[in-house]
Chains A and B, each alone.
Chain A
Amino acid sequence: MSMPEPERRERERAGRSCAAPQLRADPSAKMCARGVDVYYGDKHAIKSVDLDIVSDEVTALIGPSGCGKSTFLRCFNRMNDTIPRCRVSGSITLDGEDIHAPDMDVVQLRARVGMVFQKPNPFPKSIYENVAYGPRIHGLASRRVEFDGIVERSLLRAGLWDEVKDRLGEPGTALSGGQQQRLCIARAIAVDPEVVLMDEPCSALDPIATARIEELIYELRGRYAIAIVTHNMQQAARVSQRTAFFHLGELIEYGATDEIFTNPRQQRTSDYITGRYG
Chain B
Amino acid sequence: MTDPDSRARWSAPALRARLARRHAAERRFRRLGAAAIVTAMASLALLLASIVWNGHGAFRAAEIRLDIAFPEAAFDAADPRDPVAFETALARADTAALLRDALRALFPEAQSRRDVRALQALVSSGARGALRDALRADPSLLGRSASLWLPADDEVDLFLRGRIARQTPEAERRLSDLQIAWIEQLEAAQRLRRHWNTRFFTSGDSREPELAGVWGAAVGSFLTLLVALGLVFPVGVAAAIYLEEFAPRTRWTDVVEVNINNLAAVPSIVFGLLGLAVFLNTFQLPRSAPLVGGMTLALMTLPTIIITGRAAIQAVPPSIREAARGIGASPVQVVGHHVLPLAMPGILTGTIIGMARALGETAPLLMIGMVAFIVDVPSSFTDAATVLPVQIYLWADSPERAFVEKTSGAVLVLIVFLILMNATAIVLRKRFEGRT
Contact = CB atoms under 8 A, between A and B. Distances in A.
Nearest to A82: B325
Contacts of A137: 327-330, 333, 337
Contacts of A184: 323
Given A1-B248, A124-B436, A117 B326 contact: yes
Given A84-B249, A125-B436, A138 B328 contact: yes
A117 B322 contact: yes
A82 B249 CA distance: 12
Contacts of B324: 123, 133
B327 A114 contact: yes
Q: Is chain B's binding surface mostly helix, strand, loop or mixed?
A: helix
Interface residues of B, number: 19
B99 to A, nearest CB: 68
A133 B329 CA distance: 9
Interface centre among B248, B249, B329 (most CB of A within 10 A): B329
Nearest to A135: B327
Contacts of A109: 328
Nearest to A77: B326
A117 B326 CA distance: 9
A61 interface: no
A254 to B, nearest CB: 25
Given A1-B248, A137-B333, A124 B326 contact: no
B327 A133 contact: yes
A187 B327 contact: yes
A13 interface: no
B342 interface: yes
B330 A107 contact: yes
Given A79-B322, A121-B322, A110 B327 contact: yes
Interface in A67-104: 77, 79, 82, 84
Nearest to A120: B319
Given A123-B338, A124-B436, A125-B436, A111 B319 contact: no
Contact of B329 (A107, A121, A124, A125): A107
B327 A134 contact: yes
A108 interface: yes
A111 B329 CA distance: 9
A178 interface: no
Interface in A115-162: 115, 117, 119, 121-125, 133-134, 137-138
A3 B333 CA distance: 21
Interface in B301-348: 317, 319-320, 322-330, 333, 337-338, 342
Given A121-B320, A124-B320, A124-B342, A115 B248 contact: no
Contact of B319 (A77, A117, A133, A138): A117
A226 interface: no
Contacts of B320: 121, 123-124
A2 interface: yes
Nearest to A118: B319
A202 interface: no
Contact of A188 (B248, B317, B326): B326
B323 A122 contact: yes
A191 B327 CA distance: 8
A184 B326 CA distance: 11
B328 A191 contact: yes
Contacts of B436: 124-125
A248 B383 CA distance: 71
Interface in A188-242: 188, 191
Contacts of A187: 323, 327
Contacts of B326: 77, 79, 110, 114-115, 117, 188
A6 B327 CA distance: 24
The 10 nearest A-B residue pairs measured at CB:
A115-B326, A110-B328, A121-B319, A111-B328, A121-B323, A134-B327, A124-B436, A107-B328, A107-B330, A84-B249
18 contacts: A79-B322, A79-B325, A82-B325, A107-B330, A108-B328, A110-B328, A114-B326, A115-B326, A117-B319, A123-B338, A125-B436, A133-B337, A134-B328, A137-B328, A137-B329, A137-B330, A137-B333, A138-B328
